[in-house]
Structure 1
């Protein structure tokens, strides 16, 4: 336990508070709209630390909350049968991206993170509901998986292009939420494996990530409560606007 706390002592009080509040907010967003924990946490933590450090803190909260999301919906077996080519390519793409690009520590990776956030926000705000033509799924799914894995390896964000692709499949709401949980779980585990391979995650980082799980779970519970009293559509619009501004800041400032 001391080694876990040593990590936060090394960060200092202000940065540790930022970590806890970030995961509380990120969990709240995920509780309301079913996604957003990795994007919010990577974006806000990217303001104060390098992407590999932020991604290491993300591993446990993202894995546990995605497994939580994955457990409900009743369509897991059917979704695995349908989406396995995409999921396999996410793993391969993340591995290839880790070997080729890696989650670097320079300003270019911070700008890449900003670009990914901005692109995701613009797609959420501007793109109309997509419907994929019949016959495209067999090749577009693996392609989206490969690209998602590459983006994950470079930025720690695994929503582009996986989320627009899954939304275009015409799934029922509960199926879509479960499909997103499945995709995010595979992406998080693949990212974690890449970070371990590059030596970016040790016992201290993993322990600190376990502690970050507490505010993330509290945020999810808060978000699920808020979902009953606020408009999810309005909340999602505000989320994308805020995410876009954050991505633009990271892209410009680096």
Structure 2
């Protein structure tokens, strides 16, 4: 972890902003945090910082819903794919090719933004779920292991299942929780989870929770559609910059 005197305000500001985004639209904390921290540190360090805020906020989101058992049974194949894919792919973010990891992170963020801005409303037929869930879960896991971003293609897939709003929020919490735990296991396996990073991650929880509370307040005052548009446009620009810098 960098010893720069700017590290603490940068980390606190990043997780405050990421928490606001999650508080307003229900997702985006790991995406925003990885994108902004990726500008000032290697992706593996950013991923280590992300673990505690992501785990706590997503457990909160997961356990707040009413249908945990039913969703877990329906999505267990996908969750297994995410866990295995993340652990298998975590050697990419923990490896020496930091430029490649930065490029992959930028491309993942840009892809997520494009899907959010222009993606059609898809539907997955129930007969396809037994094979589509594990396959897309494994792909999500590899992307998570390579970039620290949990959303592609898990979020579009879950949105295409036709879940009720509360069930979708809880399913996203389940997916992100499994991704966070699997990423922590992968980083630990590759000896890329230093003790100081774990301590800093715990401290980052405070601004993340404060941001979520502020986001909840803003949600009642800002049109969600307007906020989502600004969020995805900003994410597209950020992803493009990271991808370009990683290639340089």
TM-score over 0.5 for the alignment?
yes
Residues 34 and 46, structure 2, Cα contact 8 Å, conserved in 1: yes
Q: 1:153 aligns with which of 132, 145, 150?
A: 145
1:111 paired residue among 103, 118, 121: 103
Residue number in structure 2 paired with 1:53: 45
2 CA distance for matches of 1:183 and 1:244? 23
Deviation at 1:13, TM superposition (A): 2.1
1:42 aligns with 2:34: yes
Question: How many Å apart are 1:61 and its aligned residue?
Answer: 0.3
Indicate the residue corresponding to 1:194 in structure 2.
Answer: 186
How much does 1:78 deviate?
Answer: 0.6
Give the aligned partner of residue 227 of structure 1.
Answer: 219
Deviation at 1:71, TM superposition (A): 1.4
Q: RMSD between aligned alpha carbons? A: 1.1
Q: How far apart in 1 are the matches of 2:187 and 2:62?
A: 23
Q: Deviations over 1:192-219 (max 9, x none)?
A: 0111111111221111100000000000
Please, which of 202, 207, 210 is the counterpart of residue 215 of structure 1? 207
Matches within 5 A, 1:18-167: 18-99=10-91, 101-105=92-96, 106-167=98-159
Q: How many residues align?
A: 245
- TM-score of the aligned structures, taking structure 1 as reference length: 0.94
- List gaps (5 residues or longer) in structure 1: 1-6
Q: Which runs of 5+ in 2 are unaligned?
A: none
Give a deviation string over 1:30-73, Cα, whole Å, max 9, x none. Answer: 00001000000000000000000000000000000000111112
What's 2:165 paired with?
173
Counterpart in the other structure of 1:4: none
- Asked if 1 retains the 8 angstrom alpha-carbon contact of 2:93 and 2:101, the reply is no
SS at match of 1:11: coil
TM-score (norm 2): 0.96
